[in-house]
Amino acid sequence: MDFSIPAELSMFVDSVRRFRERELMPLEQRFLTEGRFTPQERRDLQERARSQGLWALDVPEEYGGQGMGTLATCLVVEELYKHPGMFEFGGSPEPVLYQADEEQKKRYLYPVIEGERRSCYAFTEPGTGSDFARIATTAVRDGDNWAINGTKIFISEVDRADFCILFASTDPEAGSRGITCFLIDMGTPGFDASRPIPTMGDDWEPYELSFSDCVVPDSARLGPVGGGWALANEQLTHGRLKIAAFQLGIAQRCLDMAVEWAKERVTWGKPIATRQGVQWMLADSAVELEAARYLVYRAAWMADEGQPIRNEAFIAKLYATEMAQRVTDRCLQVFGGLGYSKELPIQSFFRQVRVWRIGHGSSEIHRWMIARNLLGLSSRD
Ligand SMILES: Cc1cc2nc3c(=O)[nH]c(=O)nc-3n(C[C@H](O)[C@H](O)[C@H](O)COP(=O)(O)OP(=O)(O)OC[C@H]3O[C@@H](n4cnc5c(N)ncnc54)[C@H](O)[C@@H]3O)c2cc1C
């Protein structure tokens, strides 16, 4: 197995770096003080990026995008996540939308690519997270319509969304094979964004969604009845790898800052960089970050070669998210009290990385899946 980063891709990532330095970094101090970008600020930033050609990067060329692959996507988010605002370029739809029929594409996919509409993605429920197949939200067919009832929880980006990609059970006896996907406009009667849920992450306020006799036509169904989990599963793999790539940017930024600070901060007449206790924190962080980087890049390269990466994505996300937790913690320690203060982004990164060990499959579920693959066990074992 051999891979390298093509020179033109490195040059493109340089342009992303320049965007981050010019457009995002000047907003960092205000972001840290206020703890958020407003939805309008995010849109404005995305439009500025668009005017510089940074738009719909991973969208296939046949849909008017730039057709960049998985490795390119990982390198881009790695660069962007060096800013704590979790900013991403616009025009990238949730991959399930490519499975939509032509009418649905006109209503949802193309407007997302154009930046006219945005989605949220609703799977998790109060009683069902890791064990997704047991979702209790039901969609019951009545002629040409479906009646949807249930509650979703921890749904991100609801405040920015125009429609919801909803997963509901259409056959509770059939487990994951009884899950169906629907596209539902915000504001549909019976569909309510019932409450925001403040979290320890800056600027991250997921919502509870409630569906009470929410009636949608069969044309709102995305993919076959019972085919929702198969649609979601592929997306989860690539989502996991992207999350692993976020961690590289976060950890790199914190480590770069900690290295500079260690050289600057003097105690007992010497920079703390000369103390072995500090050096080891930096060295361990560098080693773990480099190991995570190769796991992510290798899996991304394999995906671009058309190889399956389900297990590789589990491994990369598990290692990278736990690495980022350790690295942000050590870097905060190197900064002492300053690291804990909101004058620096370290504390924001430290809080942000915590969620990635939970969302998109927790560390424990990842270990379970990796062990299952290792031991050759099936989903029934
Ligand atoms: C900020 C935020 C944003 C989110 N955004 C979205 C979103 O946009 N859309 C969406 O659908 N969901 C979203 N989620 C939900 C997220 O995907 C779930 O929180 C995650 O899947 C875990 O589910 P849970 O919280 O119900 O934990 P649980 O499944 O209740 O797990 C609790 C603990 O038990 C452990 N555990 C569970 N089962 C096992 C087992 N068999 N073996 C060992 N350990 C086990 C878990 O690892 C975890 O540590 C978001 C969550 C957060 C916090």
Residues 136 and 214 in one domain: yes
Residues 172 and 243 in one domain: no
Residue 380 has pLDDT above 90, yes or no: no
**What is the Å distance from ligand 1's center to 85 Cα?**
22
Q: Is residue 1 part of a domain?
A: no
Q: Whose CA is nearest to atom 23 of ligand 1?
A: 129
Residues 367 and 269 in one domain: yes
Q: Is residue 351 part of a domain?
A: yes
Q: Determine contact, residues 168/150, Cβ cutoff 8 Å.
A: yes
Q: Is residue 380 part of a domain?
A: no
Write the CA distances from 58 to 25, 135, 187, 331, integer angstroms.
Answer: 24, 30, 29, 32
Q: For residue 235, name the pLDDT band (cuts at 50, 70, 90).
A: confident
Residues 202 and 271 in one domain: no
Which of 131, 137, 154, 155 to mutate to test ligand 1, by most ligand atoms within 8 A of the CB atom? 154
- For residue range 21-30, what is the model confidence (pLDDT) as tens digits? 999 999 999 9
**What is the Å distance from ligand 1's center to 145 Cα?**
31
- Counting Cα atoms < 13 Å in the Cβ hemisphere of 103 gives 7
Q: Which residues pair with 182 in a beta bridge?
A: 166, 221
Q: Whose CA is nearest to atom 41 of ligand 1?
A: 365
Which residue in 292, 380, 275 sits closest to 328, CA to CA? 292
Q: Which residues pair with 160 in a beta bridge?
A: none
User: What amino acid occupies position 150?
Assistant: G
Taking the CA of residue 204 as reference, the ligand 1 atom at the shortest distance is: 1
Residues 126 and 109 in one domain: no
Write the CA distances from 363 to 70, 272, 346, 357, integer angstroms.
Answer: 22, 34, 22, 5
Q: Whose CA is nearest to atom 44 of ligand 1?
A: 364
Counting the structural domains of the chain, the total is: 3
Q: Is residue 2 part of a domain?
A: no
Take residue 274 and report the two structure tokens written for it.
């000369």
Alpha-carbon span 267 to 223, nearest angstrom? 63
**What is the Å distance from ligand 1's center to 359 Cα?**
6
**What is the Å distance from ligand 1's center to 282 Cα?**
31
Take residue 32 and report the two structure tokens written for it.
């840290």
From 222, 255, 290, the end of a domain falls on: 222
Residues 278 and 193 in one domain: no
Q: CA torsion angle for 328, 331, 333, 334 (degrees, to 10)?
A: 180
From 222, 253, 288, the end of a domain falls on: 222
Residues 54 and 166 in one domain: no
From 74, 89, 114, the end of a domain falls on: 114
**What is the Å distance from ligand 1's center to 137 Cα?**
17
Which pLDDT does position 379 carry in this prediction?
73
Which residue in 86, 59, 80 sits closest to 13, CA to CA? 80
Q: Whose CA is nearest to atom 50 of ligand 1?
A: 154
Q: Is residue 343 part of a domain?
A: yes
User: What amino acid occupies position 372?
Assistant: R
Residues 44 and 139 in one domain: no
- For residue range 331-356, what is the model confidence (pLDDT) as tens digits? 999 999 999 999 999 999 999 999 99
DSSP secondary-structure letter at 62? G
Residues 39 and 132 in one domain: no
Which pLDDT does position 234 carry in this prediction?
73
Alpha-carbon span 136 to 134, nearest angstrom? 6
Residues 269 and 365 in one domain: yes
Q: Determine contact, residues 156/121, Cβ cutoff 8 Å.
A: yes
Residue 72 has pLDDT above 60, yes or no: yes
Q: What is the mean pLDDT of the chain?
A: 95
Q: Is residue 202 part of a domain?
A: yes
Residues 234 and 218 in one domain: no
Q: Is residue 381 part of a domain?
A: no
Residue 140 sits in a domain whose CATH number is: 2.40.110.10
Residue 6 has pLDDT above 70, yes or no: yes
Alpha-carbon span 276 to 72, nearest angstrom? 37
Which pLDDT does position 3 carry in this prediction?
67
Q: For residue 4, name the pLDDT band (cuts at 50, 70, 90).
A: confident
- For residue range 273-301, what is the model confidence (pLDDT) as tens digits? 999 999 999 999 999 999 999 999 999 99
Which pLDDT does position 216 carry in this prediction?
98
**What is the Å distance from ligand 1's center to 277 Cα?**
36
**What is the Å distance from ligand 1's center to 225 Cα?**
25
Residue 19 sits in a domain whose CATH number is: 1.10.540.10
Q: Which domain holds residue 36?
A: 7-100+105-114
Residue 1 has pLDDT above 60, yes or no: no
Instruction: Please list every protein residue whose CB sits less than 6 Å from any atom of ligand 1.
Output: 121-124, 129-130, 154-156, 199, 201, 204, 206, 355, 358-359, 362, 364-365, 368
Residues 254 and 162 in one domain: no
Which pLDDT does position 30 carry in this prediction?
93
- For residue range 20-69, what is the model confidence (pLDDT) as tens digits? 999 999 999 999 999 889 888 999 999 999 999 999 999 999 999 999 99
Which pLDDT does position 150 carry in this prediction?
98
Q: Is residue 44 part of a domain?
A: yes
